Every structure is written in C-alpha cells, then in structure tokens.
Amino acid sequence: MTILENIIKLHEDLIEFSSKLQAASANKMHDESHIEANVYTAFYKIIAYAVTLHRAILSFCEAGWTHISAILLRTIMECSANCLAIINNEFPEYMAFKYLYHPYFQFFRDDGYPENKREKAKIDIEQGIDNLKDEIVKQKARHYIDSDRIDIFWFRPEERGVSAIINNYGSDELKYVYGTYSMSAHAGHLGMFLFKDNPDEININPSENPRKTKLALIESCKWLLELLYIRNVFEDLGFDSEFSDFFERIEASGSQRH
C-alpha cells in the first residue's frame, strides 16, 4: 500500500509530540505536583495506549487491513472519554482512583476468582486508598468499595455511559463520529466495511483501499491530537501553538488529492 509521505510524516510527528507532552507533564509533576498522582497515572497509561492504537492503525493500513481501522479509532475516542470523565468531575482524583482500581474491585468481589488473587486485589485496593492525600476523596473511595454493588463500568454512577460522557463533554465532531464508528465495533451492517473504498466488495483478504486509507490515517491523527489536547489544557502544559500547527496540517492533509 502506497501512502502519501506527508501523511506518514504527520502520523509519526504526532507520536514524537505525544512523548514530548508526556515529558513535559512528568517534569511539571516532579517540580510542582500540579495534578493528583492518580490523575497523572491515568493520563500516562491512557495516552500511551492511544498512541499504540495510533501506531497499529498505520500497520493495519500498510498491510491492507484499512477496514479494521474504525474499531481502533473508536477506542482512541474512548480513551478521550475516560479522560473527560475524570477531569470533569468535582473530584478528579476520586474518578482517577476508580478508573485505576475498578478492576481490582471486580476481582475481589468475584467468588469464582482464585482466593490468593482476591486477597492480592484487596491489598492493592487498601494501598491505593492509603495513598490518597485528600480526606474527602479517601472517604469517597472507602464508601465506594464498601458499597453493595460494583458496576461493570468504572465511571458509574457518576456517568451513565461512554456516549453520555462524549455528549456531555466532547466536541461536536466527536459526538457524531463516535456513533458512526460504533457501527463497526458492533459489527453493524453499514459499519463492517466503512473503511473500504468499495463497501460492497465482501471478501476475507487484505485489499488496496487508497482513498479510505488516507482517511483512516488522518482520522487517527485527528483523534489522537484531540486526546492530547485534553491533557494539554487540563495540565496547562503550554503547547497551544504546536496544537494549532498540527490542526492546520491535518486540515491540509485532508484536502490533498492523491
């Protein structure tokens, strides 16, 4: 698959920029402790995962699997949703704690899980609570783990669902596109081959889709950049001019012909 060089360059520059953003956050955390520890950890893990998805999309496209991209793009958007749920709460540290420790609650409450692993999960939870600095947050965390029911989704009951989070806090375009890409994630009729140049061509082999490959890579850049922007604004990392440059490059790439 031949891909325009400027799009490859944009894709790779965003990976480098994400590392630059992380380094700035780490330095600011070291010097100022500008955000709570769990919020920092959640951002670090979520954005690292989003960058790996961004890189995987390029690998899929190069190998002829462009039509799989919508599923990965949707997951990058869910990375944004997780961050938005954390930072738009009155207590971001509490929401970050829930995000990080929710799986341990599930393990601990699951009677079918091995006893030694359940005990390890309980120890991890207690350590996580002990590490909380704010007493109100600590009380909320204690109340949460002592509640009768742990929901399958970490952000409940504060938020109803991913779509609700995006509708409440996301950009207008994110709201629209997330629903569109959900058709692919749920194997909907129109979603399965959303990123094929000819959606009516049904086969199980890799294929050349130059027009949709370009779109998939630009979309990957766009949604990773939106996620990075959420972090930049919340942490006040000072990369506003860089974001303007990237937005302009994405716009220009989208209008470029093959």
- Residues 224 and 13 sit within 8 Å (Cβ to Cβ): no
In a domain, 150, yes or no: no
Q: Phi-psi region for residue 81, left (φ > 0), alpha (ψ -120 to 50) or beta? A: alpha
Q: For 72-101, what is the mean pLDDT?
A: 97
| Single-letter code of the amino acid located at 229 | Y
pLDDT category, 237, cuts 50, 70, 90? very high
Residue 102 falls inside a structural domain: no
- Other beta carbons less than 10 A from residue 113's beta carbon: 13
Does a structural domain hold residue 111?
no
Examine residue 202 and state whether it is found in any structural domain, yes or no. Answer: yes
Is residue 162 included in any domain, yes or no? no
Number of domain units in the chain:
1
State which residues form the domain around 58. 5-81+195-255
In order, the DSSP letters of 53-88 are HHHHHHHHHHTT-GGGHHHHHHHHHHHHHHHHHHHT
Whether 256 has a pLDDT exceeding 70, the answer reads: no
Q: According to the model, what pLDDT value does residue 18 have?
A: 98
Whether this prediction's pTM lies above 0.75 is answered by yes
Residue 62 lies in a domain: yes
Residue 239 lies in a domain: yes
Check residue 258 and give its pLDDT: 47
Q: Is residue 31 part of a domain?
A: yes
Residue 213 near residue 1 (C-beta atoms within 8 A): yes
